[in-house]
């Protein structure tokens, strides 16, 4: 079998988009916080908590700002740790599925 090629910029953008979308959910956020902290470490979990606090603030454009910050954060991560691309891709797919599931969260884990 050949190796799977990962487009890091696309993965970073998709991750940023769904991570920020999940911040709105009281069901998905705690799950995502645990998963990001386990996969990437506590600084990323803390950044997610900060993003959630800011997204829930009064500024209407904050989700766009937080998405941009997460895109850069994830691009940098993948640039220096490309070995994380497979697991990060799985997490992004899982978050995408959970967001699109009826009720905003499917399954457990």
Query: Distances in Å between the alpha carbon of 56 and those of 29, 30, 67, 75?
Result: 12, 15, 14, 24
List all residues 6 or more positions away from 99 whose beta carbon is below 8 Å from its beta carbon: 18, 21, 22, 25, 28
pLDDT of residue 4: 66
At 65-99, the pLDDT tens digits run 999 999 999 999 999 999 999 999 999 999 999 99
At 21-42, the pLDDT tens digits run 999 999 999 999 999 999 999 9
For the cut 80, the answer to whether the pLDDT of residue 105 exceeds it is no
The two structure tokens encoding residue 73:
């954060």
Q: Residue 27 phi/psi, 5° resolution?
A: -90, -45
Please state the pTM of the whole predicted model: 0.87
Q: Where are the beta strands (DSSP E) in the chain?
A: none
For the cut 70, the answer to whether the pLDDT of residue 5 exceeds it is no
């Amino acid at each position: 079998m050949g190796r799977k090629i990962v487009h890091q910029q696309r993965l970073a953008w998709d991750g940023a988009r769904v991570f920020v979308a999940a911040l709105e959910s009281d069901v998905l956020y705690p799950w995502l916080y645990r998963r990001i902290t386990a996969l990437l470490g506590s600084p990323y979990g803390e950044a997610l908590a900060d993003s959630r606090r800011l997204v829930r603030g009064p500024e209407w454009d904050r989700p766009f700002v937080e998405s941009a910050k997460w895109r850069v954060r994830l691009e940098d991560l993948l640039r220096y740790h490309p070995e994380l691309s497979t697991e990060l891709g799985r997490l992004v797919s899982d978050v995408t599925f959970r967001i699109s599931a009826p009720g905003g969260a499917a399954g457990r884990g």
